[in-house]
Amino acid sequence: MQRPMEDTQEITCITCPVGCRMTVTLTNREVTGVAGNACRRGETYARQECVAPLRMVTAVAQVIGSSVPVSVKTESPVPKDKIMAAMREIESRDFRMPILMGDVLIENVAGTGVNIIATKSII
């Protein structure tokens, strides 16, 4: 019988300004314990961060016919390992006016199932 592989990670929670330092215990790449969090949100963050980290993506992109770029973001967090692919896709697109805040500019960016939306209007 093979021994379980155990590991610990030290992370800082970013869900609120407190910034709890947490110790996360993983057994066979599964979170088996979280210590040091002051609230339940910290535990939720630690479990997600150590197994499948997610991040919001924000960027600016050029708009054809405008000297002002459009700011964009993901509608929800994407897997951390898809950030660069999302950025390449944003950079490769030709955006045209008019763009209204909230418009979906790219559907399913980098195959994540998450849309890129405009965060300001360019008219």
User: What gap in Å lies between CA 8 and CA 31, rounded to an integer?
Assistant: 9
Cα 40 to Cα 29: distance, rounded to the nearest angstrom? 21
Assess whether the previous peptide bond of 77 is cis (omega < 30° from 0).
no
Q: Is the pLDDT of residue 4 over 80?
A: no
Q: What is the mean pLDDT of residues 81-107?
A: 97
Mean pLDDT of 78-94: 97
Per-residue pLDDT tens digits for 27-38: 998 999 999 999
Which tokens go with 39? Answer: 């609230």
Query: pTM (2 decimals)?
Result: 0.82
* Domains in the chain, CATH or no CATH each: 6-51 (no CATH), 58-118 (3.10.530.10)
pLDDT reported for residue 43: 96
pLDDT digits (tens, 9 = 90+) for 28-69: 989 999 999 999 999 999 999 999 999 999 999 999 999 999
Residue 3 has pLDDT above 80, yes or no: no
pLDDT confidence of residue 24 = 97
